């Protein structure tokens, strides 16, 4: 009997989202790819065939949905994953213990020799309870995938409780430091606050770690500085610290690990993909998020990938081999695409671009201004630059769409969340915005982009549009018949605002006043060359907005104008 | 506890202005609008804390007695005019979208790729019902839940019935609060003057529509009045009213849970070290259990102040102490048992709950009500 195994694990989005720095994003994504690749490796070594992901030998960007022909026992899956994760944790922990200059017996955060097999320490708890593993099995690809989904409904987490202050990054989970998990003296309250001495010890831990990692090639093995020296050092060179860990950050164990694996010596020891593949690669710089510098983030995902896999798997019920082959072709195409897309760092000429991960059908990236020593001359990316780039994004998957259609007769599209964010919006929030935006693009019909502009206040405006109509924003024509970069968006923006203020255009239904679209549409026609009229004649409204009722249409226009004003107006106005 | 089997009071909390919407140590001058730490509405523990404080200042109940016997639960919410018709989290087997609804049911496992409807196969009848042979099934897997609250009065309604009554009786609802950022001056304690360092910060505040209030249930009465509630010194108006013995929630809580129940408050289980998805106590029938749930949600609150803290000075007295950080099953999670449980939440032994001085059952954790799921015998 033919058998199939489907495997995945969690958290993925959550693991990536708990980020403060770009480095966290890379670290998280590298860890996830590493664990997936080890599962794939182990399956291959058992003589099993890996149907998906394609390119099983490429660790970077390895997605964590794994489909295998044959039976990969659940216990084996769990063992491989936990063993590999344990290896990562042990290497990180030992690196700290060996290099931070605290006596070995100062560490109470992992189990002692005597405790082995009896009682876990903090690190051992994270070894066991970081991941939820989901597994499915069946005699067809389809069944294996469904089995996995069914089992996933009950989840599989165990939470690690914590006392005292928590990570400064997520607000949950205990702060990792050498005294974490210390056995309590008799009568000592586990929930008490730290004594001043303990507070100093914790600060020293983070300052030493931060200092070492800022220049590990030179500092590892050198005599250790005292707390006062480290504080003075920060005072004298505030610009040069905190490349890996800011001295005031307080991280949990997994957060610490995400940072540490981006240090190449540690990555080498684990045999993990390095952030800087060769020593001479340009230094990894965080993005410029100084006052006034906005960044653009894009998170995208192929539409209904699971369904596509099912279609391919079940299309030829009498020819399973054919089904497997098609699946392989599909995932190979996807992963090749991801690999190529990841290289697209020079496609954004107005500033810098980085693809943080491209795992095949999903990707995350950022457009930003380069950090420069001389703040005044630093280039600022303009919202219109970011928008221009976004408009061209579909070019990158046109060939993929064509290949998938030619070879597999499948329509394949992407939904993207695009977030233009002010410098004060915390990074972990930006990622949540990205995810919500992407979700919205999907829920409004897929093959769409949701653009969300997030202000420093945390407020945002958003608009969702099918890719092929995104250029509607470029069709704007102001009262002086100017278009493109010349156009003055003030004209429509203020007209619209005036009409809203006078309730000629309303966005909310009150008892006696339903929303009516006529005036809104007329105004839109005036400024957008009768676009509304065309949409009506071509029966495009449902496609554009999802629904045809007046409220939906007026709100869509409101969002369009808001986003247009934010992204397309020239900054000189 | 043994004698308690009803909630006798309904506590409504109406914000006077904004409320606080963040959790944990998030906000700093660099990161002003911590959105990922959003937490609203406050858990019942917060009301319990308020209760203990109020009682300490103005003793209306013997404090020892209160500490031992108080049971308080929530959060729920309601229209201010009709607080007894409050909204509770929708059990996750009911999926309520904007235009459609769907339900998870238990079907007999597929044979030749086709699920067998319960009761229609030869081997399956209620008497032979065996959980292991059944699996979750849904017709419209694309439908995303858009609503997460339903009226307690309509607890037994199917997803379809709830959806039908969406417009007429507001049987289902979306949360009536919004997160808004709010520029906040930090005032010195002794002067009407902004503190010098980081005197301004942008707060992740919550705006609850004026029409609505938060609802908690308890077995003791708190004097009506204005209280500080939920952080950052925001004021609320608190009112307690009698909850009839025959109120829907009490009737539901009286019913013994047989094969299935759903959480309407965060489900906190586990030991001091670890949080679990269900009690690990030997008397809990976990074998062969089926669940519908999701990722863990963090669960933490500020403990009331013990005597020692109060003696240690004003500052500590004010802030209280953080409890142990735990993870909880999100409200709405569904449990299906192999053998009838034949217990209601009041009957759950204290040993099932984590203990933090007192069992967390007293903070209304893991409050669950019986549900009827298609394919599960009643």
CB–CB of B296 and A171 under 8 A? no
Residue B277 to residue A165, Cβ atoms within 8 A: no
Mean pLDDT of chain A: 92
List of chain A residues whose C-beta atoms are within 8 Å of the C-beta of residue B92: none
Higher per-residue confidence, B217 vs A142 = B217
What's B354's DSSP letter?
Answer: -
Nearest CA in chain A to B291: A154
A323: nearest Cα among A309, A302, A335:
A309
What is the pLDDT at residue A377? 64
CB neighbour class for A323 (10 Å; exposed up to 12, middle 13-18, buried from 19): buried
CB A566 within 8 A of CB A453: yes
Q: How far is the alpha carbon of A132 from chain B, nearest alpha carbon, in Å? A: 10
Q: Residue B272: which of A17, A161, A165 has the nearest Cβ?
A: A161
Predicted pLDDT at B303: 65
Which residues of chain B are under the pLDDT cut of 50?
1-2, 25-26, 29, 32, 121-126, 306-318
Helix (H, G, I), strand (E, B), or coil: what is residue B106?
strand
pLDDT tens sequence across A492-539: 999 999 999 999 999 988 878 889 899 999 999 999 999 999 999 999
Residues 6+ apart with CB under 8 A from A79: none
B136 interface with A at CB cutoff 8 Å: yes
Q: At B322, is the secondary structure helix, strand, or coil?
A: strand
**What are the tens digits of pLDDT across the range B300-334?**
887 655 444 444 444 444 456 788 999 999 999 99
Write down the pLDDT at residue B309: 45
| Record: contact A154-B291, CB cut-off 8 A | yes
Q: Output the pLDDT for position A287.
A: 78
Pairwise CB contact (< 8 Å): B23 & A154: no
Report the share of chain A in percent with pLDDT over 70: 97
A171 vs B contacts (CB less than 8 Å): 23-26, 34, 37, 298
The distance from CA A458 to its chain's CA centroid, rounded to whole angstroms, is 19
Examine the predicted complex and report whether its ipTM is higher than 0.95.
Answer: no
Q: Using omega within 30 degrees of 0 as the cis cutoff, is the peptide bond preceding A273 cis?
A: no
Question: Could you give the CA distance from residue A60 to residue A357 in angstroms, rounded to a whole number?
Answer: 8
Task: Tally the C-alpha atoms within 13 A of residue A343's C-alpha that lie toward its C-beta.
Answer: 5
d(CA A285, CA A17): 20
Consecutive H or E run containing B213? strand B212-218
**pLDDT value for B120:** 52
Give the contacts of A397 (CB within 8 A, at least 6 positions apart). Answer: A337, A412, A414
Q: What is the C-alpha R_g of chain B?
A: 22
Range A550-564 average pLDDT:
96
Beta bridge partners of residue B356, listed in sequence order: B358
Mean local confidence (pLDDT), A137-141: 93
Q: CB count, 10 Å around CB of A4?
A: 27
Q: What is the DSSP letter of A20?
A: S
Q: Quick one: average pLDDT of A347-354?
A: 88
**Residue A94 vs residues A98, A179, A258, A539, B288: alpha-carbon distances, Å:** 6, 15, 15, 64, 41
Residue A423 pLDDT greater than 50, yes or no: yes
Q: Which of residues 328-357 of B touch A (CB under 8 A)?
A: none
Strands A448-454 and A414-421: parallel
Task: Please give the pLDDT value at position A9.
Answer: 97
Helix axes A490-501, A550-567, angle to 10 degrees: 140
Higher pLDDT pick, A75 / A14: A75
Distance CA(B279)–CA(B270), nearest Å, equals: 6
Query: CA–CA separation, A15 vs A229, rounded Å?
Result: 35
Paired with B217 in beta bridges are B10, B73
In terms of phi and psi (left: phi > 0; alpha: psi -120 to 50; beta: otherwise), the region of B146 is alpha
A245, A23 Cβ separation under 8 angstroms = no
CA distances for A544 relative to A130, A439, A442, A567, B84, angstroms: 42, 16, 13, 20, 42
Which residue bears the tokens 């976004």? Answer: A390
- pLDDT the model gives residue B180: 83
SS3 A159: strand
Q: Say what the pLDDT of residue B58 is.
A: 87
Chain CA centroid to CA A137, Å: 29
* Residue with tokens 């597994």, as numbered in its chain: A135
Find the helix packing angle between A253-260 and A22-45, rounded to 10°: 90
Q: How far is A425 from chain B (nearest CA, A)?
A: 7
Percent share of chain A, pLDDT over 90: 75
B32 contacts chain A (CB < 8 A): yes
pLDDT at B35: 65
Q: Is B140 on the interface with A (CB under 8 A)?
A: no
Judge whether residue A262 has pLDDT over 90: yes
Q: Kindly give the residue spans of alpha helices, DSSP state H, lying in B39-148.
A: 44-57, 63-69
| CA–CA separation, B307 and B316 (whole Å) | 11
Exposure string for A209-239, b = 16+ CB within 10 A, e = fewer: bbbbbbebeebeeeeebeeeebeebbeeeee
Interchain CB distance below 8 Å, B277 and A11: no
CA distances from A529 to A516, A518, A535 (A): 21, 16, 11
Contact criterion met (CB below 8 Å) for A320 and A138 = no
pLDDT at residue number B25: 46
Q: Which one, of A74, A78, A73, A88, lies nearest residue A34 by Cα?
A: A88
- Contact assessment for residue A263 and residue A255, using Cβ atoms and an 8 Å cutoff: no
Q: Give the separation between CA A147 and CA A153, rounded to whole angstroms.
A: 10
The shortest CB-CB distance from B25 to any of A14, A150, A165 is to A165
Q: Which of A143, A144, A172 to probe the B interface (max B CBs under 10 A)?
A: A172
Residues within 8 A of A (CB atoms), B 56-95 only: none
Please judge whether A143 and B113 are an interchain contact, meaning their C-beta atoms are less than 8 angstroms apart: yes
Q: Does B135 contact A at CB distance below 8 Å?
A: yes
Q: Which of A398, A515, A385 is CA-nearest to residue A468? A: A398
User: Helix or strand or coil: residue B218?
Assistant: strand
Q: What is the pLDDT of residue B122?
A: 46
Domains of chain A: 4-270 (3.30.70), 298-468 (3.30.70.270), 471-572 (no CATH)
Residues 6+ apart with CB under 8 A from A145: A6, A67, A136, A138, A306, A309, A310, A313
| Residue A188: pLDDT band with limits 50, 70, 90 | confident
pLDDT at site B308: 47
Of the CA atoms within 13 Å of residue B138, those in its CB half-sphere come to 20
| Strand arrangement of the beta sheet that strand A352-358 belongs to | A352-358, A362-368, A295-302, A414-421, A448-454, A460-466
Q: Give the pLDDT of residue B315.
A: 43
Report the distance separating Cα B117 and Cα A156, nearest Å: 28
- Tokens linked to B306: 């013990």
Q: Which residues pair with B183 in a beta bridge?
A: B202
* Bridge partners (DSSP) listed for residue A472: none
Spatial distance between the Cα atoms of B98 and B121, rounded to a whole number of angstroms: 35
Mean pLDDT of A361-369: 92
| Upper half-sphere CA count for residue A397 (Cβ side, 13 Å) | 27
Check whether A251 has a pLDDT greater than 90. yes
| pLDDT level of residue A189 (50, 70, 90 thresholds) | confident
Chain-centroid distance, C-alpha B377: 27
Tokens 């694309």 -> residue: B142
Residues 174-233 of B with CB under 8 A from A: 179-181, 202, 204
Write the Ramachandran bin of A99: left for phi over 0, alpha for psi from -120 to 50, otherwise beta: alpha
Tokens of A275: 């952030």
**CA angle A317–A320–A322, rounded 5-degree value:** 105
Please name which of B243, A537, A536, B206 lies closest in space to residue A545, comparing C-alpha atoms.
A536
């Amino acid at each position: 009997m033919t058998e199939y195994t489907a495997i995945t694990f969690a958290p993925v989005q959550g693991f990536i989202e708990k980020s403060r720095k770009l480095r966290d994003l890379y670290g998280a994504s590298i860890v996830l790819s590493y664990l997936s690749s080890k599962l794939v490796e182990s399956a291959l070594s058992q003589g099993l065939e890996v149907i998906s992901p394609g390119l099983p030998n490429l660790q970077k960007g390895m997605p964590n949905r794994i489909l295998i022909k044959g039976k990969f026992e659940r216990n084996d899956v769990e063992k491989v994953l936990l063993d590999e994760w344990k290896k990562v944790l042990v290497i990180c922990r030992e690196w700290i213990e060996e290099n931070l200059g605290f006596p070995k017996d100062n560490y109470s955060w992992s189990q002692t020799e005597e405790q082995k097999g009896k009682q876990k320490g903090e690190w051992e708890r994270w070894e066991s309870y970081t991941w939820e593993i989901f597994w499915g099995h069946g005699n067809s690809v389809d069944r294996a995938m469904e089995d996995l989904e069914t089992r996933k409904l009950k989840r599989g987490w165990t939470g690690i409780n914590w006392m005292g202050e928590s990570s400064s990054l997520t607000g949950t989970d205990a702060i990792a430091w050498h005294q974490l998990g210390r056995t309590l003296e008799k009568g000592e309250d586990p929930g008490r606050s730290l004594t001043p001495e303990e507070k100093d010890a914790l600060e020293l831990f983070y300052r030493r770690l931060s200092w070492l990692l800022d220049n590990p090639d030179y500092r590892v093995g050198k005599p250790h500085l005292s707390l006062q020296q480290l504080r003075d050092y920060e005072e004298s060179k505030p610009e040069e610290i905190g490349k890996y860990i800011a001295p005031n950050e307080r991280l949990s164990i997994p957060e610490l690990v995400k940072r540490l694996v981006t240090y190449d010596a540690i990555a080498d020891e684990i045999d993990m993909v390095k952030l800087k593949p060769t020593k001479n690669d340009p230094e990894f710089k965080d993005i410029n998020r100084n006052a006034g510098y906005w960044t653009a983030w894009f998170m995208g995902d192929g539409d209904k990938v699971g369904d596509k896999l099912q279609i391919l798997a079940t299309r030829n019920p009498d020819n399973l081999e054919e089904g497997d082959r098609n699946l392989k072709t599909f995932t190979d195409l996807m992963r090749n695409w991801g690999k190529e897309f990841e290289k697209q760092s020079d496609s954004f000429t107005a500033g810098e671009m980085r693809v943080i991960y491209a795992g095949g059908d999903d990707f995350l990236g950022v457009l930003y201004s380069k950090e420069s020593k001389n703040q005044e001359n630093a280039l600022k990316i303009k919202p219109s630059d970011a928008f221009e780039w976004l408009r061209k994004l579909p070019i990158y998957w046109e060939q993929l769409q064509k290949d998938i259609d030619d070879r597999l007769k499948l329509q394949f599209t992407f939904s993207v969340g695009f977030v233009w964010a002010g410098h004060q919006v915390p990074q972990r929030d930006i990622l949540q915005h990205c995810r919500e935006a992407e979700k919205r693009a999907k829920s409004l019909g897929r093959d769409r982009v949701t653009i969300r502009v997030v202000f420093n206040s945390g407020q945002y405006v958003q608009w969702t549009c099918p890719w092929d109509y995104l250029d509607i924003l470029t069709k704007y024509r102001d009262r002086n018949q100017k278009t493109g970069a010349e156009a003055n968006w003030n004209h429509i923006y203020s007209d619209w605002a005036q009409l809203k203020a006078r309730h000629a255009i309303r966005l909310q239904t009150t008892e006696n006043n339903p929303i009516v679209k006529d005036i809104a549409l007329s105004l839109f026609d005036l400024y957008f060359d009768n676009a509304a009229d065309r949409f009506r004649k071509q029966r495009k409204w449902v496609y554009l907005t999802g629904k045809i009722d007046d409220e939906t249409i007026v709100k869509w226009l409101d969002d369009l104008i808001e986003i247009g004003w934010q992204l397309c107006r020239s900054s000189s106005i | 506890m043994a004698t308690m089997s009803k909630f006798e009071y309904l506590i409504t909390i109406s914000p006077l202005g904004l409320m606080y919407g963040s959790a944990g140590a998030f906000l700093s001058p660099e990161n002003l609008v911590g959105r990922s730490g959003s937490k609203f509405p406050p858990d019942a523990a917060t009301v319990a804390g308020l209760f203990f404080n109020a009682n300490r200042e103005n003793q209306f109940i013997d404090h020892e007695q209160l500490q031992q016997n108080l049971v308080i639960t929530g959060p729920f919410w309601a229209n201010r005019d009709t607080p007894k018709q409050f909204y509770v989290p929708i059990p996750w087997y009911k999926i309520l979208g904007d235009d459609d609804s769907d339900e998870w049911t238990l079907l007999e496992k597929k044979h030749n790729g086709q699920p067998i409807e319960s009761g229609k196969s030869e081997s399956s009848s209620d008497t032979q019902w065996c959980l292991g042979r059944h699996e979750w099934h849904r017709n419209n897997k694309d439908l995303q839940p858009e609503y997460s609250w339903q009226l307690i009065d309509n607890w037994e309604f199917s997803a379809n019935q709830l959806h039908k009554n969406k417009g007429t009786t507001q049987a289902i609802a979306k949360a009536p609060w919004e997160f808004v950022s709010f520029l906040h001056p930090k005032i010195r304690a002794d002067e009407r003057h902004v503190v010098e360092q980081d005197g301004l910060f942008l707060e992740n505040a919550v705006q609850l529509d004026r029409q609505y209030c938060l609802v908690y249930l308890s077995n003791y009465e708190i004097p009506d009045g204005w209280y500080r509630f939920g952080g950052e010194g925001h004021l609320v108006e608190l009112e307690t009213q009698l909850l009839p013995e025959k109120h829907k929630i009490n009737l539901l809580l009286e019913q013994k849970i047989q094969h299935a129940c759903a959480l309407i408050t965060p489900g906190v289980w586990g030991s001091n070290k670890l949080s679990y998805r269900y009690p690990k106590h030997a008397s809990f029938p976990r074998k062969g259990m089926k669940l519908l749930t999701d990722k863990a949600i963090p669960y933490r609150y500020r403990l009331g102040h013990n005597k020692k803290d109060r003696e240690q000075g004003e500052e500590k007295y004010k802030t209280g102490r953080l409890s142990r950080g735990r993870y909880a099953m999100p409200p709405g999670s569904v449990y299906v048992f192999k053998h009838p449980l034949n217990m209601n939440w009041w009957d759950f032994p204290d040993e099932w709950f984590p203990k933090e001085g007192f069992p967390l059952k007293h903070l209304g954790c893991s409050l669950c009500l019986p549900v009827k799921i298609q394919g599960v015998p009643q």
